[in-house]
Amino acid sequence: RKLNFDNLFKNLYGDELNLGSLLISMLFWSFCYLGLSWYIERILPGEFGVKQPWYFPFMKSYWFEDNKIKNHYENLNESNKGLNEDAFEPEPNELNASIKIKNLTKIFRTGFEDKKAVDNMSLNFYENQITGFLGHNGAGKTTVTFMLCGLYSPESGTAYILGNDIRTQMSKIRTSIGFCPQNNILYDELTVYEHLDLIASIKGFSSREIKAEINKISSYVGLQNDLRKKSKQLSGGMKRRLSVAMALIGDSKVIILDEPTSGLDPFNRRSLWEIIRNYKIGRTIIISTHYMEEADALSDRIALMNHGRVECCGSPLFLKDRFGSGYRLILTKDSNFDKEAMQYIVRKNLNQEPNIQSDIAREMTLSIPNEMNSRLPGLLANIEAEKHNIGILNYGISSATVEEVFLKIGSIDINEIDFGKDSNKNFTESITSQNFSNVKSVISVGN
């Protein structure tokens, strides 16, 4: 007899079982195993993922917006309470804090030893700002970004992204977050267009919206002429542009860039800087980097991490003023340079003995403390008037650098740090008789 829907539940061959019952049983157990795998995946996510408690299906906050969490989020205003307040610039209360980290801790267990990668960290990140994460290798920067993206679960503490708790509402957070990891995660056989199409689809864009979004983002990052190229055909700089574009696409309100310019030449690095800088309006951008110059050029605020803790946080100007050693006056000497006359001019204008940092060959560098910046115009005017008489060819002034703050706060050996090729260049104004009028504006920046 032939099998059809009419006899699906009949015993055609004298057997107690029938095919219809078997199909229903298989369907039932399929749903059971699907639910079980969904449950186990959330309580035992493995190396990557946010671990949920075993009772999470009974938590209201997992399924619905929890007003208690929302109220708690709105009351998290003081991110650095209990820390050294002198090392932290006051919070910009006029801005909206899109990310609030509260007592975040992460411990990695290797054998019999526990390593605390992030130690009770509290910090706020603000809309319309780029916040730079600085720190040596192993300071905890990448671990923090991984927890914010839901790749690691915190040991204790939490973070709120746009009001959503990373412990229980990660699926909602992922729709509004863009992430660019340290290393390019690209498929060799996929084109630029297909990479962007994939990310936009994951974020819920319709097919019509995807095309417009890809055209907009590719034009923004300079890949509009390379959409049909496979990723393996791209140069290193273009691959980083694609990785950044994948983080930006979908109108993400929170963008996390983990060393986005790593391995790039200076030209491509600065091109990416412009892209990132112009994209911050209406968004919160976090950028972790090893390059001091990059942090100084891009960041509205800088958070310096050392051994899992945030040691200081504030604008580059605040950190330089608070922890820097002031200004440096750099002189290029002529063969008839009169050192005593130069020291007399410094003594006369600053009312203190000159602090000569170095005097090598034809260059002399003097250190001028921050509290003397009001006397600098008079000193520079005297040098300009007497430079031919005392044998000075030209001179310049530079402010403290983020690199200097990094070394001072972190107490890190210079050999441990990758400053990059360009990061040791101070911003120096060469003072000549033609551009002496710029001196006052340079000094006012340091106030």
Structure confidence by residue, pLDDT tens digits, 204-226: 888 888 999 999 999 988 899 99
* Whole-number average pLDDT of the chain: 81
Regarding the domain delimited by 327-398+417-445, which CATH topology (the fold level of the hierarchy) does it fall under? Answer: Alpha-Beta Plaits (3.30.70)
pTM of the model: 0.73
> For 129-133, 244-248, 435-439, which range has the lowest pLDDT when averaged over its residues?
435-439
DSSP 8-class letter at 225: T
Collect all residues with Cβ–Cβ distance below 8 Å to 111 and sequence separation of at least 6: none
What average pLDDT does the segment 71-95 reach? Answer: 66
The pLDDT of residue 194: 95
The pLDDT of residue 159: 93
What average pLDDT does the segment 338-356 reach? Answer: 89
Domain ranges of the chain: 5-43, 64-320, 327-398+417-445
Question: Can you give the length of the chain in residues?
Answer: 447
The pLDDT of residue 104: 93
* pLDDT over 90 at 76, yes or no: no
Residue 186 banded pLDDT, cuts 50, 70, 90: very high
> For 31-40, 186-195, 323-332, 404-413, which range has the lowest pLDDT when averaged over its residues?
404-413
| Greater model confidence, 440 or 59 | 59
The pLDDT of residue 266: 85
For 282, half-sphere exposure in the C-beta direction (CA atoms, 13 angstrom radius) is 5
Distance CA 217, CA 225 (A): 12
* pLDDT over 80 at 82, yes or no: no
Distance CA 44, CA 155 (A): 14
Apex 264 CA angle, 249 and 138, nearest 5 = 85
- Beta carbons of 169 and 246 less than 8 angstroms apart: no
What's domain 64-320's architecture?
3-Layer(aba) Sandwich (3.40)
What average pLDDT does the segment 61-71 reach? Answer: 61
Residue 1 banded pLDDT, cuts 50, 70, 90: low
* pLDDT over 80 at 431, yes or no: no
The pLDDT of residue 426: 38
Distance CA 172, CA 204 (A): 12
Out of 25-34, 309-318, 398-407, 430-439, the most confident range is 25-34
The pLDDT of residue 35: 93
